[in-house]
Amino acid sequence: MITSTGWEFDLGGGVGILPRFDIEGQEKKPEPAEGRPVPVEVVVQRAVERLELPQPVIRTSPDEDLVQVVHVPTWMWVDRGTWGPVSASAAVEGVTVTATARPRRAVWSMGEGGRVVCRGPGTPYSEAFSPKAASPDCGYTYRRASVSVPGGAYTVSVQVTWDVEWRGGGQAGVVPGLVMTAQRQLVVDEVQAVVTG
């Protein structure tokens, strides 16, 4: 049985979490002695460490560079170029393992206390939808403007969770819960209705 607790690493603007394996209760297993077969767990760890998971790119409608509006649905999605399978392989002493990571879900923290769990990347907004329509699968409606928070903007973050399937050395398994994160500022304002007589 292979377990993974994970450790964080900085990606420059985002944080990723890669698994840390506990092999037979040891923090780090020494290299196999001459003549002994390499444990498949060692090769799995190397293959997983070689995965180059993309940092998610946050997209919203209204556009993330524009002002979001209180009580108007905000659409969120992760750029499609950062959502898809990623593979890497490693070989040690004739044992080859291929690891394939697939994104499973995106968890959004919206800055005012709200949290949204999306089972996919989210749907990009297009003119095919009404301007007042809510996202069919990944949206949020702000209740308060961000004017009173430091900097006048909410910090919005997304965590994309990846699961890794690996095969090699006559075995197969899963490493769950690799996480890639990103964040950005969103300004949220209230639009006052104008009443004319």
Q: pTM here?
A: 0.78
Please give the single-letter amino acid code of residue 110: M
Output 4 or 128, whichever has higher pLDDT.
128
Is the confidence at residue 100, as pLDDT, over 80? yes
Question: What would the mean pLDDT of 2-21 be, rounded to a whole number?
Answer: 47
Task: Give me the pLDDT at residue 7, please.
Answer: 44
Task: Give me the pLDDT at residue 155, please.
Answer: 97
Q: 163 pLDDT band (50/70/90 cuts)? A: very high
Lowest mean pLDDT among 31-35, 59-63, 64-68, 93-97: 31-35
Average pLDDT score, the chain: 85
Contact 102, 70 (CB under 8 A): no
In this structure, the strands spanning 95-109 and 154-168 are antiparallel
Is the confidence at residue 174, as pLDDT, over 90? yes
Rounded Cα–Cα distance for residues 68 and 77 (Å): 15
Distances (CA, A) of 118 to 42, 123, 149: 33, 10, 26
